[in-house]
Amino acid sequence: MQEEAGPGAGEALEVWIDQDLCTGDGICVQYAPEVFELDIDGLAYVKSADDELLQQPGATTPVPLPLLRDVADSAKECPGDCIHVRRVADRVEVYGPEAS
């Protein structure tokens, strides 16, 4: 049985940040430093699986399953409401301001 409850469990997910709304407080970096990093412009960006900072606005990166909870909490706590976690398969948002 799949015990992991909640949206996105067992599905490939990706995350992106809307930098236009980012306040630069760094909460996401505290939750999941493996996935998020503040750049020198003071805004948060996602990192690739190779730990490379993806500096294009709105870049996406896969959410490693062990980090799903931390990434989901980041999306919930983000003051800018600008962290979007979506299914890779159909791009439906599962955590973030557009999640149902």
Residues that bind ligand SF4 (CB under 6 A): 17, 22-28, 44, 74, 78-80, 82-83
For residues 4 and 53, which CB has a smaller minimum distance to ligand SF4 in the complex? 53
Q: How far is CA 96 from CA 2, 27, 37, 51, 59, in A?
A: 23, 14, 18, 23, 16
Q: Provide the minimum distance between the beta carbon of 3 and ligand SF4 in the complex, in angstroms, as a whole number.
A: 28
Q: How far is the CB of 83 from ligand SF4 (least distance, A)?
A: 5
For residues 82 and 85, which CB has a smaller minimum distance to ligand SF4 in the complex? 82
Q: Which is nearer to ligand SF4, 8 or 43 (CB)?
A: 43
Distance in angstroms (rounded) separating the CA atoms of residues 57 and 22:
11
